[in-house]
Structures are given as C-alpha cells and as structure tokens.
Amino acid sequence: MSSARVRTLIVDDEPLARAGLRRMLADISWITVVGESADGADAVRRTQTLVPELIFLDIQMPGLSGIEVLRHLPPGPRVVFTTAFAEHALAAFELGALDYLLKPFGSERFGRTLERVRASLGEPVAAGDRLAEALGKGPMSRLFARSGRSIVPIAVADIIRIESSGDYAAVFAGGEPHLLHVSLDRLAERLEPERFLRVHRSHLVNVLQVRRFARRLDGNYEAQLKDGSVVPVSRNRAATLRAWVASSG
C-alpha cells in the first residue's frame, strides 16, 4: 500500500452516525475523510466528484438505498456497509462489499474492518465483477452470515454442508454453524452444481466433503461427511451421489 492516505466517504442519513464514524476514523493515520453524504443520490454524485477509495455506506436511506447506490458506483472504491438491520446483510450475497458492520458496533469490530480494508488495498479491485456476481445468477465465492453482533464472510470453498431450518439456512464450515436468512432453494441456485449437491429437501452438501455413502438397514440412504456429520440422502438423489462417489474413488 502506498503512503498516501485512503480517501474515504461516509454515507448515512443519520447525522449522529456520520459523526460517530468520523470520530472513529480521526485517529487512523492512513485514512482521510474527504466528504459525507446524507442520502443515496448525493452519495453517487460525491463519488463521481471526490473519487473516494473507501466508502462507509448505510443501507436504509431516503431515496436510493445503499444497495441501489452500489449499483450506480463505478468499479474502484472499497465499500463497507453499515446497517442496524441484520436481515439486509443476511439476505444479500456478494454485494460488492468488503465488510458489513451492524450498528451499534464497537472499536474492536471496527478495527477488524479496518484491517480487512487495509489488506485489500494491495489487491486488484474487482468491484464490478463482485457486483455482477451479486446481482446476477452465477456461482458465488462468498456468503455473509451473522455471528453474534457481526456479519462474517464465509468462503464457499470452506462450506461442508448447508441445512434448511425454516426460512433460514444453517451453514456448516467448521466450528459453530452460521444462520442465513435465505431459503435452501435460493442458495442452491447460486452455488456451483458441480460441487454442491442437493441430496435431500433439507440438505445441500459439498461433494468434495463426502467420505462415505451407504444404504442403511432400513433401506434409506445416508452420506457421512469428513467432519463426521451424517445427512440423509433421498432415494431420487442416491444414484447421483453414488455415481459421484464412484468416480472420485
């Protein structure tokens, strides 16, 4: 990263929220706040004139929402969403954002976001590609899930399995499962079909994580995964999974 300060724009319709972010950024030596916006339309205009490298962007605002602002942004700026409403982040995939901050957030969580921003500055920007991935129908590379008061990214490659839980989906990627406010059907549409197989109406598995596939004594099928978990396999999916296991073995 160069020694130049990172030009930063704060976008939020709440004056206190903007002031709070400005205070938190005041002591960050490698950041300079070049402007503020109180609504989405003004944020788009200021992005064009101020050319920020980093934008802290609220989601719920009068006029254009943060998501709509993102659609109007040119490739280039890193975007960190800030929101008091977890469901917006949970239901949104790959919105071109580097991170999500759930209000109210503390200095420790904010510090982790800044570390992520700083690490990203040495990488080529692919905001346009990330946005196309988010708004299109192609496979995703990351999910964002709630963990306590934070939104954390999960690499799709790390996912072992996903289990339906009503209107939510539980994502297992090692450690405790993460809940996403999205249906299993919608997730299945956005994951690589060559890697993720819907083995049951309530279960989606990463086929690279399948250790064993077997028929139980009661005639039903199950798959044992590398993390030790066992998931049921419906009869109409059994042949597909059996063929994959045979070809990989």
Are the C-beta atoms of residues 159 and 173 closer than 8 Å to each other? yes
- Of 150, 149, 190, the closest CA to residue 169 belongs to 190
Q: Band of the pLDDT at 134, cuts 50, 70, 90?
A: very low
Residue-level pLDDT at 40:
94
Q: Going edge to edge, which strands form the sheet with 31-37?
A: 31-37, 6-11, 54-58, 78-83, 99-102
User: What is the C-alpha separation between 169 and 220, in angstroms, rounded?
Assistant: 24
Q: What pTM value is reported for the model? A: 0.58
Model pLDDT, residue 9: 97
For residue 1, give the nearest of 142, 122, 140 by alpha carbon: 122
- Write down the residue that tokens 């802290």 correspond to: 56
Query: Residue 147: its pLDDT value, please?
Result: 67
The pair of three-digit structure tokens given for residue 164, joined into one six-digit string: 């339906």
- Tokens 């972010």 identify what position? 21
- Is a pLDDT exceeding 60 seen at residue 126? no
161 compared with 95, residue with greater pLDDT: 161
**Residue 10: both structure tokens together:** 């704060």
Reduced to 3 DSSP states, what percent helix, strand and coil does the chain have, rounded to the nearest 5?
35, 30, 35
The structural domains of the chain, ordered by start, are 6-150 (3.40.50.2300), 159-248 (2.40.50.1020)
pLDDT digits (tens, 9 = 90+) for 23-48: 999 989 999 999 999 999 999 999 99
Question: Residue 227 has which token pair?
Answer: 């993390």
Q: Determine the average pLDDT of the residues in 122-127.
A: 50
Q: Report the pLDDT averaged over residues 91-119.
A: 78
Q: Which residue has the tokens 């839980």?
A: 165
Q: What is the pLDDT of residue 146?
A: 67
